[in-house]
Amino acid sequence: MAKKVKKAGEEQLLDIVVQGMQELKAKNIVILDLRKLESAMADYFVIASGSSSTHVEAIANSVEKFTEELMDESPRRVEGKRNGKWVLMDYFNTIVHVFDEETRDFYALEQLWGDGEITRIQE
């Protein structure tokens, strides 16, 4: 695991969220920068996929563990862990979405918020 970071900004939070996702081999990780969109409810979305409901929950748990241990940050709210189709983690200005592949295709957040700047993370 990476070195602990004291209270940090959004950029560090994004990096640590991605680390938590990569730790458990999340697929198709994308960061949407929504700061230039007037209608956005957050500055960033971080989106990733898991291959099963168990994998989705494990990725979300890893993100939570990394942010707590490395930044002393906990999500304000976590929704959807029980069903394992779509876990939403609210870090105030950064919203983390972990989907199973079918649910991600159905909701297509990248297309819905496609006016934002998209950064694809290499696997």
> How many Cβ atoms are within 10 Å of 96's Cβ, its own excluded?
28
Give residue 114's pLDDT: 87
Give residue 19's pLDDT: 97
pTM of the model as a whole: 0.90
Residue 60 phi/psi, 5-degree rounding, is: -60, -40
Query: Which residues, 6 or more positions from 118, have their beta carbon under 8 angstroms from its beta carbon?
Result: 30, 31, 32, 33, 110
Q: Map out the domains of the chain with their CATH numbers.
A: 11-120 (3.30.460.10)
pLDDT one digit per residue (tens) for the chain, 123 residues = 554 444 458 889 999 999 999 999 999 999 999 999 988 999 999 999 999 999 999 999 999 999 999 999 999 999 999 888 999 999 999 999 999 999 999 999 999 998 999 999 987
Q: Look at the alpha carbons of 53, 79, 113, 98 in this order and tell me if their dihedral is positive or negative.
A: negative
Give residue 8's pLDDT: 52
> How many Cβ atoms are within 10 Å of 28's Cβ, its own excluded?
14
